[in-house]
Every structure is written in structure tokens, then in C-alpha cells.
Amino acid sequence: MRSYIKESGEIAAQEIGSLTAKLQGGNMLLMYTDRFLCVPQQEITDIAHLLEIRLFTETAELRIMRSSIDSPFYYRLIDDNVLSADDYLDEYQYLDIDTKHPRTSGMNYVTTGGGVYSLPIENAKKVLIRNYISYDDQGIAQITDFRIVGFLTKEANS
């Protein structure tokens, strides 16, 4: 198991609620067969169509995923509290936001191409992604996983 993974394994669909309760006060990226949502942490009600959950806080992420509807769920929990700054690289990505579009307001955003999405934060500007570094047998570094740390507003200096 990678050093940044606190725990991982297979999980039954009926156990997803108790597993997500391990992290509190986070945000969720929920990917379904027909939609995706980015919302404050909440109960998951449509497990039948769920493909992936990313439940994240500033210091941890629980990812639950399956490759298709008829596949089992697997999870991994990352806890940054046990890592040194040499174990990851942070990257700030600008969000695609048409700031002049009339429907871009509050937590609702329109992309420059016309797509619509919502985030659990108003006035978002960037997303902070944490890339985890592992080393192969020759000592060569590689990015082996990533997670969402959070969203930054227009007022944040980064």
C-alpha cells in the first residue's frame, strides 16, 4: 500500500453511509451514470447509479469507486496528517468560468463553452489539487494519485 493511503479495500454498497461518516464537514464530488454533483457533505441516496464519490476536506479524502454498475465498490482513504511536504505536490487549477454570463452567480457557474455546474462555494476561482508522489525501484518519482483539497475564492491570494 502507498504511504499516503491510510486504509483501502472493497466495500459493500450498504456500508457506504457508515464509511462516509468517518470524515465530517467535507465536500463531495459525486459521479453517477447520468450526472455529477459537487455539494457539501450529505447522505447518498442514489447508490444504484453511483460510480464514484470523492469526499474531501483540507486534510483527507475518501474515494469510493467502481468501474461499472455491476462492479463492486472499492475505497481508499488518504490522510495528509501523516505525510511530509516531500510526499506531494500541490497544484492550483483555474476553473472554467464565464464571469460575464448572467447565470454565473452564487454557487452556480457557466463555462466559457456554455456548460453549467455548481460548487459548494460562492465566487470560486480555482481548485486546489494535491498530487501524491511515489518512487519506483530505481528511485524515480512519479505521480501515483491525486485528490481535491478544496476550492479557492476570488478573494484568496494564491
Asked whether residue 148 falls in the same domain as residue 108, the answer is yes
Question: Looking at residue 158, what is its pLDDT?
Answer: 53
Domain boundary among 53, 81, 109: 81
Domain check: are 90 and 146 in the same one? yes
Q: Does 35 map to a domain? A: yes
Claim: this prediction has a pTM higher than 0.85: yes
Q: What residue type is assigned to position 141 of the chain?
A: A
Quick one: 109 and 148 in the same domain?
yes
Whether 60 and 117 share a structural domain: no
Same domain, 90 and 141: yes
Residue where a domain terminates, one of 81, 96, 129: 81
Query: What pLDDT, on the 0 to 100 scale, is given for residue 65?
Result: 98
Q: Clarify whether residues 39 and 72 are in a common domain.
A: yes
Task: Say if 158 falls within a structural domain.
Answer: no
Same domain, 30 and 92: no
Per-residue pLDDT of the chain (158 residues; tens, 9 = 90+): 688 899 999 999 999 999 999 899 999 999 999 998 999 999 998 999 999 999 999 999 999 999 999 999 999 999 999 898 889 999 999 999 999 999 999 999 999 999 999 999 999 999 999 999 998 999 999 999 999 999 999 776 55
Kindly state whether residues 77 and 108 are assigned to the same domain: no
The per-residue pLDDT for 39 is 94
Q: Residue 146: what pLDDT?
A: 97
Looking at the fold, whether 111 and 130 belong to one and the same domain comes out as: yes
> Which residue segment(s) compose the domain that 75 sits in?
5-81
Q: What is the pLDDT of residue 156?
A: 66
What integer pLDDT is reported at residue 154 of this predicted model? 79
- Give pLDDT, residue 98: 95
Residue 69 lies in a domain: yes
Say if residue 60 is in the same domain as residue 15.
Answer: yes
Shared domain check, 14 and 77? yes
Amino acid at 154: K
